[in-house]
Amino acid sequence: MASVGAVKFLLCLLLCLFNSQTLCQGEKNDRYANRYSFIKRASSFSSSSSSSSSVISSTGSNDGYDYIIVGGGTAGCPLGATLSEKFRVLVLERGGVPFTNPNVSFMENFHITLADTSPSSPSQYFISTDGVLNARARVLGGGTSINAGFYTRASSRFIEKVGWDAKIVNESYPWVEKKIVYRPKIAPWQRAVRDGLLDAGVSPFNGFTFDHVHGTKVGGTIFDRFGRRHSAAQLLASGNPKNLTVLVYATVHKIVFDTRGKIPKAVGVIFRDENGKQHEAVLRKSRESEVIVSSGAIGTPQLLMLSGIGPKDELQKWNIPVVLDNPYVGKGMADNPLNTIFVPSRRPVKQSLIETVGITNKGVYIEASSGFGQSNDSIHCHHGILSAEIGQLSTIPPKKRSAEAVQEYLKGKREIPVEAFRGGFILSKVASPWSTGELKLMNTNVEDNPSVTFNYFNHPYDLQRCVEGIRIATKVVQSEHFRNYTLCDRQSTENLLNMTVKANVNLVPKHVNDTKSLEQFCRDTVITIWHYHGGCHVGKVVGSDHKVLGVHGLRVVDGSTFTESPGTNPQATVMMMGRYMGVKILRDRLGNSSGI
């Protein structure tokens, strides 16, 4: 996810994580109440299956759900909408609705949501053990409600690798695209990046396309021409409102299993509403009924472990009853490392998030963003202890970076001059990293972040590709297309790299003025672009049908099953995955009578 925080699209998160500002998520109102009448607060849940314990409910079959989806995010929303066409579906989302929150809804406010670290924020920050700051969604629509909006499909190689039916895939992508995807009006900064990439040899130019093809292209966006976001939450409108119930502020604490047979079977979930009251939602007593976990690469392995599925030693450490010993839960975690070059401009630059991308044949992608910072909200936003202002972070030892230290810094912080925000960023991302890590529990509270390690650049091939990406990005910055209106020339490129190193974009110790070593630059300035994945890999935690191995009635549908992040941005494929798996489930269960 530079000098002022590598994108405000990516890095206001990294620069604003300790912001004390409180912004609340939008609440339900008449504007969308009619269209989304099935979305309700968790406290409205009333059922004979409500329980104060985790025992199996004796509720009759007519009172249960055919499918309970844990997580109303990027995959969960299209999945829930699709399954509701034929069956009774309950979607449980721990966050609120995105529709009436202007900081979620409008591109110009993109960075403000990431700056909000309040308990009710749509964006829940976490810091990996590597020292890289990150975020996970806590809002209906998941990552599509807080991301930079870029839309591009996965490569055909990825589809073949995961073993999906290409025909259903090619039906499912357009299902998403017709509803919430747009063609961007390319911004001047993005045109300069396009031309600079072509000059740097990242060719051919493939024009506007959703397809993942080598060369330079313009992709789609979920922001319309007015700059308004269209998230996966809107895909819920395609569902059958008579069969679909979506509860917001519903935090699932564990999956409930019937362990009386030879193989454990998921029969429901325990969740808490916004008032802290505990409820139990149960499945219909049918062999095909399922709990489907779509809580993302962080939330899904965490919930499985808290429910008793995971490494036995890890579960026993936290006194969690073991339902199934599976040593692979939480393993194989990966994040695509990102590095940026800050490019100051002579004049304010029009805002733009990712529109243009250069796709190299070495698995390095070059992207860009610009202009986040000219508004009063941006300039006066407290960037906290991670401010790129002069590198104060390095003066505070890690063990002394307390909440008190943060507040003390905020009090004495100087206002950042507007000039610091002008310009934009060139981004270099390493795709399909060979370096992987793991996720472990920190406690038994599902609302707290687990411990996540990504091991950025542990494998030399990842570091080699990062260096190649920075070299390409440097050529783009040095091209005449940028020199025409920026402060950058060939002589100042090293200064730009040093400027980026000095910026406090992570908690990794810095080597300022050592940019002659691009390897060191990569290590010092690594950040995230929120494309983490893994933790529940196919063949180790789930089968090819995404059913959890060793138990009945439980499936995982999200990016935790991926061994690599699809395309240059995963959201298109994860939304498609939700629709795809819904169609597959219906066809497998109903055959030709599914009508899907």
- Given the DSSP bridges, would you call strands 39-41 and 244-248 parallel, antiparallel or unpaired? parallel
253 is a catalytic site residue: no
Per domain, the residue ranges of the chain are 37-43+64-182+227-334+438-455+531-595, 185-218+337-431+457-525
Length, in residues, of the chain: 596
What pLDDT shows up at residue 371?
Answer: 81
Among 380, 384, 304, 339, CA closest to 477: 339
Answer yes or no: is 94 a known binding residue.
yes
List the structure tokens of 241: 């409102």
Domain topology for 185-218+337-431+457-525: Cholesterol Oxidase; domain 2 (3.30.410)
Answer yes or no: is 355 a known binding residue.
no
Question: Is-contact 456 430, C-beta < 8 A?
Answer: no
Strand, helix or coil for residue 474: helix
Answer yes or no: is 530 a known binding residue.
yes
List the structure tokens of 552: 């009945």
Answer yes or no: is 511 a known binding residue.
no
What pLDDT shows up at residue 414?
Answer: 41
**Residue whose structure tokens are 């202890």:** 385
What pLDDT shows up at residue 35?
Answer: 85
What pLDDT shows up at residue 190?
Answer: 95
What value, to the nearest 5°, has the Cα angle with vertex 138 and ends 322 and 229? 145
List the structure tokens of 280: 């139990």
Q: Say how far apart CA 305 and CA 556 lie, in whole Å.
A: 13
Answer yes or no: is 494 a known binding residue.
no
What phi-psi label fits residue 393: left (phi over 0), alpha (psi between -120 and 50 degrees) or beta?
alpha
Among 178, 181, 200, 197, CA closest to 189: 197
Q: How far is CA 241 from the centre of its chain?
A: 27
What pLDDT shows up at residue 411?
Answer: 47
Same fold, 37-43+64-182+227-334+438-455+531-595 and 185-218+337-431+457-525: no
**Residue whose structure tokens are 């080597």:** 511
Phi, psi at 8, each rounded to 5°: 50, -5
Beta-sheet strand order (sheet of 67-70): 39-41, 244-248, 89-93, 67-70, 290-293, 554-556
Q: What share of the chain is helix, strand, coil (3-state, %, to 5)?
A: 35, 20, 45
b/e for 563-579, b at 16 or more Cβ within 10 A?
Answer: bbbbbbbbbbbbbbbbb
Measuring CA to CA, how many Å separate 205 from each of 184, 202, 358, 479, 518?
A: 16, 8, 9, 17, 28
Q: Say how far apart CA 187 and CA 362 lie, in whole Å.
A: 27
Contacts of 223-228 with CB under 8 Å at 24 or more apart are 223/107, 223/149, 223/182, 223/184, 223/353, 224/182, 225/182, 225/185, 227/106, 227/107, 227/108, 228/105, 228/106, 228/107
Question: Is-contact 567 147, C-beta < 8 A?
Answer: no
Element (H, E) at 470: helix 460-478
Tens digit of pLDDT at every position of the chain (596 positions): 433 333 333 334 333 333 323 323 444 444 566 789 999 999 999 864 443 333 333 333 357 999 999 999 999 999 999 999 999 999 999 999 999 888 888 888 877 777 777 888 899 988 899 988 889 999 999 999 999 999 999 999 999 999 999 999 999 999 999 999 999 999 999 999 999 999 999 999 999 999 999 999 999 999 999 999 999 999 999 999 999 999 999 999 999 999 999 999 999 999 999 999 999 999 999 999 999 999 999 999 999 999 999 999 999 999 999 999 999 999 999 999 999 887 877 777 888 999 999 999 999 999 999 886 544 443 333 333 333 332 333 344 445 545 565 455 444 444 444 444 567 889 999 999 999 999 999 999 999 999 999 999 999 999 999 999 999 999 998 888 887 766 655 546 666 676 666 655 666 666 666 656 899 889 988 999 999 999 999 999 999 999 999 999 999 999 999 999 999 999 999 999 999 999 999 999 999 887 88
What pLDDT shows up at residue 417?
Answer: 41
Burial of 137 from C-beta contacts in 10 A (0-12 / 13-18 / 19+): buried
Give me the half-sphere count of Cα atoms (radius 13 Å) on the Cβ side of residue 426: 30
Residue tagged active-site, from 531, 533, 537, 552: 531
In terms of CATH, what superfamily is 37-43+64-182+227-334+438-455+531-595?
A: FAD/NAD(P)-binding domain (3.50.50.60)
Q: What pTM value is reported for the model?
A: 0.87
